[in-house]
Amino acid sequence: MELIDGNQISREILDELKSEVATFSGRPPSVTFVRVGEDPASVFYVNKKQKVAAELGIKSHLQVFPETVTREELLGYIDSLNTDSEVDGILVQAPLPDHISDREVFNRVSPDKDVDGFNATNIGRLCQEDPAAFISCTPAGIIELLERSGVETSGKNAVVVGRSLIVGKPAALLLMMKAKTGNATVTVAHSRTADLAAACREADIIVAAIGRPGLITADMVKEGAVVIDVGINRVDDATKKKGYRIVGDVAFDEVAPKCSQITPVPGGVGPMTVAMLMKNTVLAYKRTQQA
């Protein structure tokens, strides 16, 4: 069993990007983060993204709105970013308060600045296999992990557990694409799947992205499978100072011995998401400069 080290692979990507950014003349790439409210996870993630951007020489700005921001105000701010030629990338951190539709906000971001890849036009471009697509960061990170770990996907059975817009669906679309790390026979399983174990047992590659701690157990995994664990679940743990620990959707200890390759949680897919965000930001910048 070989561990797929997301920390190391993301480090490689960040180093590549850093070298590339250093060659840019004129203004640096720039990304604006929009956060609504003080959700601790959102605060943590946006901080992390800003730190990494700074390290790479990417300029970032954080705009924080209170929970009480109106839909009109938020959409108006996005419009102003869309037309600001100094802004290459825009990322609105989800979740948003209940009175504002995530989807409406994602779809308001200009497709050409949508470094998060959640805008309908970019998702559609992905479906069209259009190289102009910005691909959402977590699924793009999964493909990058597979590619850099030498995992063959063509003709293999891939089972994606979870059908979210953020991970499951785009990961499935990427895995079935006519592309180097694509051409897989892809099954999307989810909460309504009648026999998840049977579906998973057919898989050469499992992508677990359903948000249920330890759902994928050893009996569900074929000997030699590659397992990508996208889950980031908090479970109570009195032995930890914080009172919890973070676990994936895969029962790592029992599943790992059966795998040819597996990602840990943390240190697997997680760090890739930030790296791919930076990659998308640099891409957005390059497209602006070429236009």
For residue 92, give the H/E element and its range.
strand 89-92
> Would you give the end-to-end CA distance of the chain in angstroms?
46
Selecting among 5, 93, 169, 249, the annotated active-site residue is 93
Q: Closest distance between its own copies and the C-beta of residue 149, in Å?
A: 20
Does residue 291 touch its own copies according to CB under 8 A?
A: no
Among 109, 173, 205, 274, binds its own copies (CB under 8 A): 173
Residues 140-159 that bind its own copies (CB under 8 A): 154-157
Does residue 193 touch its own copies according to CB under 8 A?
A: yes
Q: Closest distance between its own copies and the C-beta of residue 131, in Å?
A: 11
Give me the residue label for tokens 């790439």: 29
Selecting among 49, 113, 169, 279, the annotated active-site residue is 49
Determine contact, residues 139/123, Cβ cutoff 8 Å.
no
CA distance linking residue 136 with residue 124, whole number of Å? 12
Our answer to whether residue 128 is catalytic in this structure is no
Among 56, 69, 87, 172, binds its own copies (CB under 8 A): 172
Strands 244-247 and 59-65: unpaired
CA distance linking residue 101 with residue 263, whole number of Å? 33
Does residue 163 touch its own copies according to CB under 8 A?
A: yes
Stretch that binds its own copies, among 26-34, 179-187, 227-235, 252-260 (CB under 8 A): 179-187
Number of CB atoms found within 10 A of residue 230's CB: 31
Q: In the chain, which residue ranges form alpha helices assigned H by DSSP?
A: 6-22, 40-56, 71-82, 102-108, 120-127, 137-148, 168-176, 196-201, 252-255, 269-290
Report the chain's C-alpha Rg in angstroms.
19
Q: Which residues contact 14 (CB under 8 A, 6 or more apart)?
A: 52, 55, 56, 275, 278
| Residue among 178 and 242 whose Cβ is closer to its own copies | 178
| Residue among 82 and 185 whose Cβ is closer to its own copies | 185
| Residue among 163 and 279 whose Cβ is closer to its own copies | 163
Binding pattern for the stretch 40-79 against its own copies, x by CB under 8 A and - elsewhere = ----------------------------------------
Among 17, 87, 135, 189, binds its own copies (CB under 8 A): 189
Determine contact, residues 22/14, Cβ cutoff 8 Å.
no
Does residue 128 touch its own copies according to CB under 8 A?
A: yes
| Residue among 188 and 215 whose Cβ is closer to its own copies | 188
Determine contact, residues 56/278, Cβ cutoff 8 Å.
yes
Q: Which residues are catalytic?
A: 49, 93, 116
Summarize as ranges the residues that interact with its own copies (CB under 8 A). Answer: 103, 107, 119-125, 127-130, 154-157, 163, 165, 169-170, 172-173, 176, 183-190, 192-194, 199, 202
